[in-house]
Amino acid sequence: MFDRRTTEALLMAAAGLPILLVHVLLDASRTGAFGWSALLVPGGLIAAFVLAHLAIRWRAPAADPVLLPLVMLLSGLGLAWVARVSPEQADEQLTWFLVGIAMLVLTLFAVPSLERLARYKYLIGLAGLALLVSPALFGVEVNGAKLWLRFGGMSFQPAEVAKILLVIFLAAYLAEKREVLSVSTRRVLGIWLPPARQLGPLLLTWAVSLFVLVASRDLGSSLLFFGIFLATIYVATGRASWVLTGAVLFAGGATVAYSLFSHVRTRVEIWLDPFADVTGRGYQLAQSLFALADGGLIGLGIGKGFPERIPFVETDFIFTAIAEEVGLIGGVALILTYLVFCMRGLSTAARARSDVAALIAAGLVGAFALQVFVIIGGVTRLIPMTGITLPFVSYGGSSILANFVLLALLLRAGDAGTGLAAEVQTATPSPAGTLGRIALSRRLARLGSVIALLLTALIVNLTWLQVVQAEALVSHPANTRAILIEQRTPRGAILTSDRVLLAESVPAEDGTYARRYPLGAFAAHVVGYHSITLGRSGIEAAANETLAGRRDFQTLGEAIRVAAGIPTPGADVALSIDSAVQRAAEEALAGRRGTAVAIEPATGRILAMAATPDFDPGAVATRWQEYSAATDAPLLNRATQSLYPPGSTFKIATLAGALEEDVATPSTQYPGPGRMEIGGAPVTNFEGGSYGLVDLRRATSASINTVFGQLSVDLGAERLVAQSERFGFNEPLPLEIPAAVSVMPDPAQMTTWETAWAGIGQPVGEHDRPGPQVTALQMALLTAGIANDGVIMRPQLIDHVTDRAGLVISSNRPQIWRTACSSATANAVSEMMVDAVERGTGRAAVIRGVKVAGKTGTAETGGDATPHAWFIGFAPADNPTVAVAIVLENAGTGGRQAAPAAREIMQAALGR
């Protein structure tokens, strides 16, 4: 077994590792590189603690071995984050730590025993009271509270020293009067009280705490000192009624102060609703809550937070700065460190050799724990905010010096082998004393339970903020932190499959990054936009996590870089888009409203997706009002979001259904008059053309409505809708970006006449979802399914993702989405589509030397409006490599307008 000091040395070595790591990571976040120079400051601090360890070996060899390593850990982390949030104050903070360690050693030499120190209790008590009330009389106001004295250029917070002096006074007084105070002589309101003359000093303490509340304008300091009073008197007497009475008195005083004094009321109102005036008096607390929410479970990364947005972050809100960057996990670890310190301090009190030493240790631990609770509870909105500091972590010389003295007194209380022999003998317990010590141990255990509950409440509240409420706080309208986070990190690039750059991030002079779109509006609806004020769309939105930087790190080095706060570029996203095909699609649409989609049938890779009018993603922020108010909706991706009547292009679905269900064959004949009654209402051909008796092959190439009306009725509404659903209708499309659902009506509600027109591609009748209504993407998938032997592949816009070195992180493999029909049916339909191009309405899509399959469509839009022009097709028909769907809004007939535009797109895909 190791002795106490050896154990202390080993624990200090363990504590030194996280201290060094945090300092190195913070230095790397500032400089962008790892350097040995980052170890100099924490190394000097650790060396000073080693000297303190040697002094303890000499002057307090039996003291608790855990306290000093815990303080070293807290001090090292505190110094790191003070340097993080206020670099100009880091050297001063290090100096205070060195002076504090010297005060620790000096106290061990100057105080040979706590029993001797207690002899001067009244002098110490008066000094403590004087220090406590001095800021109220002579102090300066900082952040709404009067807690500071200022001498020239130096500031001093006397409450830090006052708490220790008052603990010593209370402990010494209660140790001397414990038996008298434990004996009740009168009953007031059901509570037994000791002799009145013994209550004077205690009532004075209560009165002073209320004076501090009113005059110093700080509820936290008042609560801290009255809490010390209650904790110490309970440990001394064991009377819970005293604690209850004191709590009621304090609550009454606080209520009166709330009613009478505006500054107290303001603090409470900020606590109740910091968002009522989020840019004014509630700003500080609101920013703290936003920071905690951004930190979440694992934090933003060391050096990646925004502590500069919180006023007084290096003092009052240092815990927020830490929890923002290391998350709930780090924040809880810090609170647990304080809890372990308190439990070890109470263990010291339990084994102290005298009542006065035990009470001093218990009072110091109570003061320490309550201070931790008050400051963390304030910045996390568990209780109203205060102006006190977080022990060993916040910036401030008076706090550091006072807490090192506190540590020295705890070490002295735990060093049972110190003092004169006569004092040791006096401390030897008698049977009665043994019983008293057992009772004292029980009270200390209860105090420990209260402290554990208080710090557990901090953990529960922190979990609520950083996990449960995090999303709501992050999305709060007043929270603009996400904008800053995105500006700091370079997003990955977006490229076409042939490596044409579509989007990239470029550095600005202030260290942030701006999004740039080198080709302007090219493929704008696919790429989308990324704006710090307007949000994201397209691939910028769909692949945001990938572009912004992956969290499932590929290497240990990458994980360390992110932990250090070094900006980690996002991964690059390579699209399936082919720049030549995309350019041809955009040129085919130029000057007209419409959309075109080109797909590789065997893989589902989208080679082109164009829509006009379009927009410049780089100008969205400056032209948002113009874009959003335009009647032709340039921001709308017509390929995926606009629903159109498909016109005669839908006849391919009707034809596939009829062949699949053996309702007809390509040679089946139907009459093709210019007009005929079906279901009691007329069905007409385009421009009234009459064709006599024709087979389905001829009806398809000539696009005869009356024939397909009869075919649709023969197929029936239920089977017609079922076939359309096999092509993907009435179901969300599995695409990376949002896509509208192409619809068909409920077959049970369709009349014969409605069924006839639906098979022709014209939605008629009144239904919840009149159909067919389609997106261009859906029709491109239908076409690709026919081209691919009846199998529709899952559509994909993202081909693969690469890291910044060009190595492939992930790639999309072709996947079957659905089987629309048999290969025999698909081949039969393909042959009829070839006839439609070579001898029918689609002759304008002919490509010399290539067999093209296609179908035109002229979709009526109602009234006198010019119909939409459609064309769907694929090439080469005998070995398809591209399938196309194009619709030109109000452009006229598909054969005259859409077919030649589609030909240009197919030629580009074929490299012709």
Backbone angles phi, psi at 839, to 5 degrees: -130, 5
Closest CA to 777 of 540, 634, 585, 499: 585
Distance of CA 829 to the CA centre of its chain: 51
Helices (H), 111-218: 114-118, 121-138, 158-182, 196-215
Q: Contact at 8 Å (CB) between 18 and 72?
A: no
Residue written as tokens 């001898």?
Answer: 839
DSSP letter at 420 equals: -
Residue 573 burial (CB count, 10 A): 26
For 517, the token pair is: 């779109």
Q: Is the dihedral of CA 661, 783, 728, 644 positive or negative?
A: negative
* CA dist., res. 557 & res. 560, Å (int): 5
H/E stretch holding 872 reads strand 868-875
DSSP designation for 150: E
Mapped onto helix, strand or coil, the DSSP state of residue 859 is strand
Please enumerate, as own/partner, the contacts of 620-626 that have beta carbons within 8 Å and a separation of 24 or more.
620/529, 620/531, 620/534, 621/531, 621/532, 621/533, 621/534, 624/534
Are the C-beta atoms of residues 151 and 140 closer than 8 Å to each other? no
Residue 648 a catalytic site member: yes
The residue type of 696 is L
Which regions of 434-587 does DSSP assign to beta strands (E)? 494-495, 501-507, 513-516, 530-531, 535-536, 572-575
Which residues share a beta bridge with 605? 796
Rounded Cα distance, 899 and 857, in Å: 9
- Residue 819 identity (one-letter amino acid): T
**Structure tokens that stand for 776 in this block:** 């261009």
> To 5 degrees, how large is the angle CA 394–CA 400–CA 403?
110
Quickly list H helices, 415-430. Answer: 421-427
**Residues 209, 394, 648, 712: which is the catalytic one?**
648
Catalytic site residues? Answer: 648
